[in-house]
Structures are given as C-alpha cells and as structure tokens.
Amino acid sequence: EIPGVISSKTNYAKGETEIIFQPGKSVAAPAKKAIEALGYKVRTII
C-alpha cells in the first residue's frame, strides 16, 4: 500500500502499471520511479 494511491493495475503481459493517485499528493514522482526501477512502464493518473 502506497500513501496517496487510490488504485493501481498492473498488466504483466505488457509490463505496464497504471496508478491512480489522490489529487494533490506529491508521492507520484517517487512511486513512479520506484516502480520503473522494477522494469515496468508507468502511466500516472492524478
């Protein structure tokens, strides 16, 4: 569980993660970097 995240979906076949953040949360950038470090493409929705 990541603070400020409303929901996330991972498509393992495509290697992509879609994350929906609560508006105004500054956790988006660090969370995105952490997930990209695992080798996934990240699509962020704020």
Write down the residue that tokens 């929901």 correspond to.
7
Its pTM surpasses 0.75: no
Return the pLDDT at 1: 62
| pLDDT of the residue at 34 | 84
Q: What per-residue confidence (pLDDT) applies to 46?
A: 65
Distance of CA 46 to the CA centre of its chain: 10
Please report, to the nearest 10 degrees, the dihedral formed by the alpha carbons of residues 29, 5, 44, 35 taken in order.
60
pLDDT at residue number 25: 63
In DSSP terms, which residues pair with 41 in a beta bridge?
Answer: 16
Residue 35: predicted pLDDT: 81
Could you identify the residue written with the tokens 């995240």?
5
> How confident is the model at residue 7, as a pLDDT?
83
Q: Which residue has the tokens 């695992």?
A: 38
Residue 36 scores a pLDDT above 80: yes
- Give residues with Cβ within 8 angstroms of 30, minimum separation 6: none
Asked whether residue 28 carries a pLDDT value surpassing 80, the answer given is no
